Structure 1
Amino acid sequence: MHTFISGDDSMVEMGRDRAAEPRAEVWGRALLLFAAFGGLKALSSFFVFPPLESASVWLPSGLTLAVFLRAAPRRWPVYLAAVFAAESMWVPFYGNPWGMALLWGLGNCLRTVVGAGLMRRWLDGPVTFSQPREVVALLLAGGLLSPLPSATLGMGAVALLGPESLSTGDFWHGWVGWYLSDGLGAVLFAPLLLTWSAPRPVPRRQWEDVELVGMMVLLALVAHGTFGLPEPRGILMSLPYLCLPFVLGAALRLGPRGAATAAMVLGTLAVWHTAARRGPFGVMDATLPERVISVQLFLAVAALSTLILAAMACDRRRVEREQRLLAESGAVLAESLEPRETLPRVARLLVPELFSGFAVWLLEGDGRLVPAARLGLSEEAEGRLREDILRLSEPSRRRLGPEGASVLARIQHQGRLLGGLALVRAGHTHVARSRVMAFAEDLAHHCALAVENAHLLGQFQSAVQVRDEFITVAAHELRTPVTVLTLQLQNLQRPLRQGAAGEPVLARFQAVSRQVSRLGRLVEGLLDVGRLNTGRLPLEREPVELGTLVQDVVERFSEELGRAGCEVVLSLQPHVTGMWDRERLEQALGHLLGNAVKFGVGRPIRLQVSQWDGTARLVVEDQGIGVSPEALERIFGRFERAVPSREYGGLGLGLFLTRRIVEAHGGTIQATSQPGEGATFVLELPASPLGTYVPGPSPWPHPPPADSYPT
């Protein structure tokens, strides 16, 4: 049983040779193999076509192939001794000479070594028949090549040591039957043992076992009816095709395990009825050897077709699972701009779903690779992989090591190394396939984007911090001379008015005073931005009557409104009160009124105050140049503008500060506008009745929407 341990613990490697395995356990398994070989030899007698004496399906060939594919090569000599002893000891019980038994035992051993040795050489990792190449290897090694020595030595022993001499024709008929029997036993029985003893290549579905039993029962009934007919004729000879939907359905629905089980069920019933001279293969006009070969070829084709279909379906699901996990990994990396938080989550996605081990390293400023995530790998294995990453010059590379087959990939952006990752499959003896390399490179690309985005975010945050510090320092430095200049102007104002200064001098003095006041407001705005950047916008709440506040602000802007030729129309519901910061609300309304004057010179401005259901509403409506719909949300951003600064000036802070002031009071602000049709800003604040005021009937039967005020 293979266990995956996260963190600093190591993973029990799949498929490794168990050096510490007790010898008693090895010899116990060899004894079990000896008994199973004898039992299957006896069971194979049910697949004998009288008067022939040899079985049409030799089940021990599938048993030995499966056992040797699962066992470590260092254990093969013990198991070969068990196979040789089983064949040598059982053959004399059937009245055959000892010499024949020894040659048959040798043939069985050679068949097993050839089949298992070639498949282990061609394949990598546990054989589960979840990939088409595993089925092809079974066909070539187990079905075609490995029966050659056993059939040759077996029939040679019969020809040399048998009680009667064989003709050439009988020898070749016997050789072909032996060859097909051994190959069919490997093709039918080995997949059954290997698929049921191996971990599932895909996650188990609910009710899958019930579905498997039901489908096998239906297949058995159909096969029994198909091959159990006494004397089929005509179109009834094609009845074996009725079994194909059930066999193929088992392959597609239940994978290699279902395909192997279905092939074995079909083969058992087909051979049993055919040996009893029933069904399409039992009554065909042919000699007995031809009937045997016909059913053997039918079963071999059916079994291999079913396995290859199941392997292709399983391989397709594996590719889909890889793509899904790759997409999920990219989504996890995009959730946060902190790779050291997201990379461990990616590791838990991939291990043990696709890989047995995962490690990723990030490059530090001093050139060191520092682990960012590790799962399923020991510290020693992680250290070896990290050293290989440092020497890696190409985007990815496959390697074999003590930890198994692994793929190393560089995490790089525009040729600049950011780190590296390793995907490991323990117990594999072949280098990873190119598909795994492509997966590793895609994952490394996702990691590179995440690391680069985090790096850019850090640079941006540093730049913003430097900018905010500069704004705060500059505003404080500017505040002092502006304050001094304002005081000096105030001191000069009285002598100029009392003296003999003419109107031109007074006009120039007032112009200078207005610009100093404007400069003071800009400095205060910069200071407020600094306060907002640090998360502090202090409010000094007091009882405020909103209509009175609007009148005060309009009075303060009267001179500017007069110069711009903007008439102000007030519609104020009385006694709209709340606990607000008077100075901050005056500042917010001043920004809105200043924008209305700036962008609507010579056009009227309308201000409305109302209250509905505990909410105070202030509407500022102008007839200016308007704002495009796509810029309505953007204009509330810091330093954002909807018009060129060369034409209208300003820092782009007024609406930003207005929204923050309103939100600090627990309110909202919205804007509606169309180019050339003016703009409407609606402020909503939580109201609280004060004193003994009882509100009268509202001028509106229901709260008017923000865009419904008359123009």
Structure 2
Amino acid sequence: MASMGQGWSRGVSGGVLGRAVLLFGSYFGLKMLSGVFLFRYLESSAIWLPGGLALAVLLRAPRHRWPVYLATLFLADYAIVPFYESQPWDLSLVWALGNSLSAVLGAELMRRWLDMPVTLSRPRDVVGLVIAGGLLGPLPSATLGVGVIVLFAPGLGAGSFWRGFLDWFLADGLGAVLVAPLVLSWGPDRAWPRRSWETLELLGSIVLLALVAHVTFGVLAPQGLLLSLPYLCLPFVLWSALRLGPRGAATAALVLAAFAVWHTTTGRGPFGALPGSVQERVLAVQVFLAVASLSTLVLAAMACDRQRVEQSQRVLAEVGAVLAESMDPRDTLPRVARLVVPEVVPGFALWLADEDGRFVPAVRAGMTPEEEARLLVELRGLTEPSRRQLGPEGASVLVRIQHRGRLLGGMALLQAGHTHPLRPRMVSFAEDLAHHCALALENAHLFEQFQAAIHARDEFIAVAAHELRTPLTALQLQMRSLPRLLQQVPASESLLARHQSLARQVSRLGRLVESLLDVGRINTGQLRLEREPVDLGALVRDVVEHLSGELERAGCEVSISAPPHVTGLWDRTRLEQALTNLLGNALKFGAGQPIEVRVEAWGGRTRLLVTDHGIGVSPEALERIFGRFERAVSSREYGGLGLGLFLTRQIAEAHGGSIQAHSAPGGGATFVLELPTSPSAAPYAPLHDAPPWALAPADPHPT
């Protein structure tokens, strides 16, 4: 264990040392590059590039590494060959100290004012950079740098303190505004989503900007309208900001500044041709670059801000779609977490409330168990609907998931490492997300209750049907033995007629009980088929003959059209039940009207059509009538449990077939039962192989 700890320490030390060496080289390289932007007779650079690098490094580095990096910056500023010729060592020491103090001041102020890490993807980040890094940060370096020259080395040509202070201050501030955003936006923390071809788009826009800037600022002695040439660069800079975010804005601003200052130092371009002193030309180009850079950064931040709003709305819409797909929270909540993390926040946790009001963990993403436990403690004490808070784990939002005052659970969104409370917009997002989850949980609870009620109903139906079946069977046996006894009684004809009426009611009651039992079998998946070769035409005639008495009493004449030998592997008993239901439905709603039954066969399929001329079915009820306990008319006018058509559809589908209804109110109805002739036959043939009756809706009044 000791050897592992020593190896880890050496790895960390080696990593810090390597970054320090890289920082040393980068700082010194930018220091030399700033010499390119040196104005003659001023002995002052228009842009101090190393200041922006130092600010960005301290912003990205943890505080415990600041001493190493500050020492590296100080050595790069002081121990290397002085920037100016014949620069005294004491001046170099003071200037290095001032530059280090400026970096510390700017970084510390931005850390206090802004959330870390700084990605420049929010307008407040840009404002903090301008105030802390561009205005307040350069004060120590400009004050010490110019003050020591005025007091101890007036021969270096600083002139007036305020004149030199302004030049130094603008150079340091402009360097911070140009270089720091470039380093911060090209870091690993990225608020702008990656897009395909983004690198090529950035490269193309920068190349075009470089060409336009070189032509614009490289013109010799421009006059008149040519003095407004710098405006030609703005469309390319704005394009980079809108399309590529802070990264594109920072890169474009730095490229624009490089060409503008380079050509201005040599006396070319609109700013190099301005009348007046060198100081005025320097000030003009610095103001132009500051305005252009800040405008592009603000525009990019506003574009990021708007994109975050659109992203939040899109995530909420996707969450709603996911929650609507399933009634099982165990399936939907993890998918919700994957939508939220890391698209909106890096940390998400959700708890469900049990019957005793205790929170049970449901899903966690992007946070440690310790962070979840701390947030759960805070959530238990939450009394208001939502609350923003700061803790050791970062900034978070806690929300109670509740519906109509009933607590369903709780939720937490976490931004690890943030030093400021989350914005109100994030609280609104959390509340909307909690509302979506509350509706889904409430629907799941109601669905569970509904399922339990259905299960209880089905169980009651099954038990009741079984209980009714036993005495009903005994009653049917007794009814069958009564006719022989009644024939021995004088004047038995009237008794026999009453017996027949009573037997019909007992038979009807038996069919109702069997229907209830079939519903129970369907619900439990116990509806089995006993397939055997069945002649459908013969089956139709047998069923019609069996129902002849009821058809005669209803005044319905049945015509049968069935070709011979239409056979298939079907369950005879179930098909008898289905046809009995269809004929019973026809004589009930078409009493006194004829009924047509037609059998047709085509390409491995058989179709049975039952047509009545009764009251018909409304279009909106054509599909509903096949539901369980559903009717198209009031039960007060027509009796029944509403199970006949439901059982018929279940029987058809169990055979691999289907049933449809075609009707119009007052025009009768046609029920089409379609069956494959064998279990392996497809229930539907291709259109080019279909019979003529399959290419058009069935005629409700076949001839």
TM-score (norm 1): 0.91
Question: Structure 1 residues 24 and 507 mapped into 2: Cα distance closer, same or farther (>3 Å)?
Answer: closer
Larger RCO (CA within 8 A; separation ≥ 6): 1
Indicate the larger mover: 430-439 or 672-681: 430-439
**Which amino acid in 1 is paired with 2:447?**
L
- Say if 2:308 is the partner of 1:324: no
> What does the per-residue CA deviation read over 1:539-566, in whole Å, with 9 as the maximum and x for residues that have no partner?
2222222122111211222221222211
- Say if 2:446 is the partner of 1:465: no
Would the aligned equivalents of 1:202 and 1:318 in 2 still touch at CA under 8 Å?
no
**Which amino acid in 1 is paired with 2:116?**
G
Q: What is the 5 A alignment of 1:408-447?
A: 408-447=398-437
1:398 maps to: 388
Deviation at 1:34, TM superposition (A): 4.4
**Cα distance in 1, alignment partners of residues 591 and 115 from structure 2:** 81
Q: Match for 2:137 among 127, 143, 146? A: 146
- Say if 2:138 is the partner of 1:159: no
**Cα distance in 2, alignment partners of residues 92 and 285 from structure 1:** 29
Would the aligned equivalents of 1:363 and 1:419 in 2 still touch at CA under 8 Å?
yes
- Say if 2:56 is the partner of 1:66: yes
Would the aligned equivalents of 2:611 and 2:702 in 1 still touch at CA under 8 Å?
no
Deviation at 1:217, TM superposition (A): 1.7
1:303 maps to: 293
Would the aligned equivalents of 2:531 and 2:572 in 1 still touch at CA under 8 Å?
yes
Q: Match for 2:559 among 563, 569, 587? A: 569
**Cα distance in 1, alignment partners of residues 162 and 388 from structure 2:** 48
Question: Structure 1 residues 39 and 583 mapped into 2: Cα distance closer, same or farther (>3 Å)?
Answer: closer
Deviation at 1:120, TM superposition (A): 1.2
- Say if 2:702 is the partner of 1:710: yes
> What does the per-residue CA deviation read over 1:247-300, in whole Å, with 9 as the maximum and x for residues that have no partner?
111112222111111111111111111111111111111221111100000011
Would the aligned equivalents of 2:611 and 2:669 in 1 still touch at CA under 8 Å?
yes
Deviation at 1:216, TM superposition (A): 1.6
**Cα distance in 2, alignment partners of residues 297 and 531 from structure 1:** 85
1:539 maps to: 529
Question: Structure 1 residues 24 and 516 mapped into 2: Cα distance closer, same or farther (>3 Å)?
Answer: closer
Q: Match for 2:483 among 493, 496, 515? A: 493
Could you say what secondary structure the match of 1:197 adopts? coil
> What does the per-residue CA deviation read over 1:169-224, in whole Å, with 9 as the maximum and x for residues that have no partner?
83322221111111111111111111122333223222222222222222111111
Q: Match for 2:504 among 511, 514, 523? A: 514
Deviation at 1:701, TM superposition (A): 8.0
Indicate the larger mover: 425-434 or 95-104: 95-104
> What does the per-residue CA deviation read over 1:560-588, in whole Å, with 9 as the maximum and x for residues that have no partner?
12222112222222221122222221111
**Cα distance in 2, alignment partners of residues 99 and 542 from structure 1:** 110
**Cα distance in 2, alignment partners of residues 554 and 496 from structure 1:** 28
Identity of aligned residues (%): 65
- Say if 2:528 is the partner of 1:553: no
Q: What is the 5 A alignment of 1:261-276?
A: 261-276=251-266
2:3 maps to: none
Q: Match for 2:328 among 338, 343, 346? A: 338
**Which amino acid in 2 is paired with 1:710?**
P
2:101 maps to: 110
**Which amino acid in 1 is paired with 2:604?**
G
**Cα distance in 1, alignment partners of residues 262 and 386 from structure 2:** 55
**Which amino acid in 2 is paired with 1:362?**
L
Would the aligned equivalents of 1:228 and 1:273 in 2 still touch at CA under 8 Å?
yes
Deviation at 1:24, TM superposition (A): 6.1
Q: Match for 1:175 among 149, 165, 174? A: 165
**Cα distance in 2, alignment partners of residues 681 and 81 from structure 1:** 91
Q: CA RMSD for the aligned pairs?
A: 2.4
**Cα distance in 2, alignment partners of residues 19 and 317 from structure 1:** 42
Indicate the larger mover: 624-633 or 413-422: 413-422
1:6 maps to: none
Deviation at 1:593, TM superposition (A): 1.0
- Say if 2:280 is the partner of 1:290: yes
**Cα distance in 1, alignment partners of residues 36 and 203 from structure 2:** 24
**Cα distance in 1, alignment partners of residues 525 and 678 from structure 2:** 26
1:620 maps to: 610
Question: Structure 1 residues 549 and 706 mapped into 2: Cα distance closer, same or farther (>3 Å)?
Answer: farther
Deviation at 1:93, TM superposition (A): 6.6
2:662 maps to: 672
Indicate the larger mover: 623-632 or 418-427: 418-427
Would the aligned equivalents of 1:37 and 1:83 in 2 still touch at CA under 8 Å?
yes
1:601 maps to: 591
Would the aligned equivalents of 1:97 and 1:161 in 2 still touch at CA under 8 Å?
no
2:209 maps to: 219
1:644 maps to: 634
Question: Structure 1 residues 111 and 327 mapped into 2: Cα distance closer, same or farther (>3 Å)?
Answer: same
Could you say what secondary structure the match of 2:611 adopts? strand
Deviation at 1:152, TM superposition (A): 2.4
Would the aligned equivalents of 2:570 and 2:678 in 1 still touch at CA under 8 Å?
no
**Cα distance in 2, alignment partners of residues 216 and 51 from structure 1:** 32
**Which amino acid in 2 is paired with 1:141?**
A
**Which amino acid in 1 is paired with 2:473?**
T
Structure 2: tracts of 5 or more residues without a match = 1-7, 680-689
